[in-house]
Amino acid sequence: MVKYKTVVFAILIVFFLSFSYYPTLFELSQKGKLAAKNRVFILEHNYYWPDFNLYLSKIRQGYEGRWTAVEKYTSEPHRGSLIQIFYLYLGRLGNLLSISPNNAYQLGRFILSPLLLVIVAFFSRKLFKNYHWSLLAFLTTVVSGSFPKFVATGQGLKIERYMEWWSNTDSLQRLTFIPHILFGQVISFYLLYQIFNLKKPLSLKKIVFLAFLGILAGLVFPPSLMTLNGVILLLIGLDIHKRKTLRTDRLIFVILSSLSLLYLFVITKIAPWSALIEFHRTHPMMIPFDQYVLGTGPIIFLGFFGSLAAVIRREKKYYPLILWVVSTFLFASLFSIIREQSPLRFTQTGLFIPLGLLSAYFLRRMWLFFTTSTGRAILVAAITLYLLANLYIMYNSLKWQTSFISQRIGADYPEVPNPPQTMYPLTAWMEAINWLKNNTGKNEVVLAGFTAGNFIPAYAGNFVYFGQSNTVDYNLKQLEVEKFFKGEMSAGQAQIFLRNGRIKYVFVGPEEKDMLGDRKLNFIYPFVQQIYDNSQVYLYII
């Protein structure tokens, strides 16, 4: 018989998932309502960054039957690797289920987001044996978000979030966020529990199994495994310092699971995978500390006080959570100096989970501190107000997301946007990309501007010369693409450029026409031959 307490947690999980998924469902409900009839509806995600199509291009490779992933956003010949292999196998699953690549991406969210909330519920119930406190721990962890930001507008005072551009500080969006980040969070916190819950040393069989999961986490979202292994090593150090003992099973796990990090370290020294690191070096996402504190909200202070209380009272079951926070900021600080990874990425490891649980512990200590009914009544009122305020912030996020979707539904300018996912694509533009999918080889290279170059690997499956931050020599190629389309190359220079880039086709849509001006490409470069055209796009073969 299912206990009512479990039912309550299940209802809350369904509620918050529905709350977080609502913008996606709302967008689907608007499918037939596009104001611009010359545009086509495509279900996308995480609109402000040009990464969605990158994930989709890897998913499409799964549909093509690949076992290792290649980088289709650059034209240099190379072998496949295990980088972003998660999306390739998500594509193989989608192909098996006969769903579209876009829906395969959504399937990843649909599978992993409930698991994330189950993990939060599991930790809440294990750390807080009292049902009401476990419920509060779950709610505090899930809803805690930004301090309110009051902004004066022409329509009056408006409440916003701090650091709105970083979705991971949005308590609503992060529950059903990008699949590979959800995967890293789910696996790493599952491993955290498995490794530290058992008092006896792990068997070799169990170590190998957990290390395999750790390797997967490392390949899919390296910051999650790095943070987890940082926690383990810090606790090993504490054990050696205090007890003069070493849990070799934990050390073996760190060594085995770190093989994935070693693989990534080696493979990212080789083109085209080196472009990943190069982009982090040239475009590092640092942590704007003051904005991050405000964006994370009161939970960062409550979690800090909870950590202090746990250390003072020697509540060792909270130490892994405390060290998760410590490990996160240690790695963020390290990579502020060593530019091999963006420091802000380490805030995506599920930092809100230990902060939320530690906050709940602090509130419990406050409850025990206040012995009078008046004091406890004030605390209950404060907690209630805190939860309601955070629910309102979540509701504001919901309004902001649906408002943005409504704007996308009604938008018709510019013809081709940048970032690529901020508008629905032109129907004729997508028809040209579909023509490439149906009439060209998947290993052939297409030259296009940034937005078309971003879409072609995702929807046609071709390689492109340029189109995403994973492009090798991104800045140089951007200049070369502009020079080519502006007609600033001689015919001989253009032929050498196309040959060196292994380019077989040229895509000329609105973005490329803006660079061409009133001229046609085959007038500037007579050696190109037109093979397709519609109202928006010309395609040329070399």
Q: Which residues contact 449 (CB under 8 A, 6 or more apart)?
A: 416, 481, 485, 507, 509, 511, 512, 515
- Same-domain check for residues 238 and 311: yes
- Same-domain check for residues 458 and 394: no
Contact 31, 61 (CB under 8 A): no
pLDDT tens track, the chain, 542 positions: 458 889 999 999 999 999 999 999 999 999 999 999 999 999 999 876 778 999 999 999 999 999 999 999 999 999 999 999 999 999 999 999 999 999 999 999 999 999 999 999 999 999 999 999 999 999 999 999 999 999 888 788 888 899 988 888 999 999 999 999 999 999 999 999 999 887 778 889 999 999 999 999 999 999 999 999 999 999 999 988 887 778 899 999 999 999 999 999 999 999 999 998 888 888 888 889 999 999 999 999 999 999 999 999 999 999 999 999 999 999 999 999 988 888 999 999 999 999 999 999 999 999 999 999 999 999 999 999 999 999 999 999 999 999 999 999 999 988 988 888 789 999 999 999 999 999 999 999 999 999 999 999 999 999 999 999 889 999 999 999 999 999 999 999 999 999 999 999 999 999 999 999 999 999 999 999 999 999 999 999 99
- Same-domain check for residues 146 and 294: yes
- Same-domain check for residues 392 and 520: no
Distance CA 100, CA 437 (A): 14
Structural domain span for residue 236: 114-406
**pLDDT reported for residue 1:** 44
Distance CA 423, CA 215 (A): 37
Let me know if residue 361 belongs to a domain: yes
Distance CA 456, CA 469 (A): 15
Contact 179, 108 (CB under 8 A): yes
Q: What is the CATH number of the domain that holds 494?
A: 3.40.50
Q: In 10 A of CB 317, how many CB atoms? A: 12
- Same-domain check for residues 448 and 396: no
Domain boundary pick from 380, 406, 432: 406
- Measured CA distances, 91 to 46, 59, 434, 440 (Å): 19, 4, 19, 21
Let me know if residue 41 belongs to a domain: no
Let me know if residue 320 belongs to a domain: yes
Token pair 């307490």 is found at 5
- Same-domain check for residues 217 and 192: yes
- Same-domain check for residues 402 and 442: no
Q: Which residues contact 85 (CB under 8 A, 6 or more apart)?
A: 58, 68, 69, 219, 220
Let me know if residue 155 belongs to a domain: yes
Token pair 């055209």 is found at 533
Pairing of the two strands 463-464 and 148-153: unpaired
Indicate the number of domains in the chain. 2
- Same-domain check for residues 433 and 357: no
Let me know if residue 97 belongs to a domain: no
Domain boundary pick from 406, 431, 451: 406
- Same-domain check for residues 424 and 286: no
Let me know if residue 382 belongs to a domain: yes
- Same-domain check for residues 429 and 369: no
Domain boundary pick from 406, 431, 449: 406
Q: What 3-state DSSP class applies to 149? A: strand
- Same-domain check for residues 136 and 189: yes
- Same-domain check for residues 428 and 394: no
Let me know if residue 504 belongs to a domain: yes
Let me know if residue 89 belongs to a domain: no
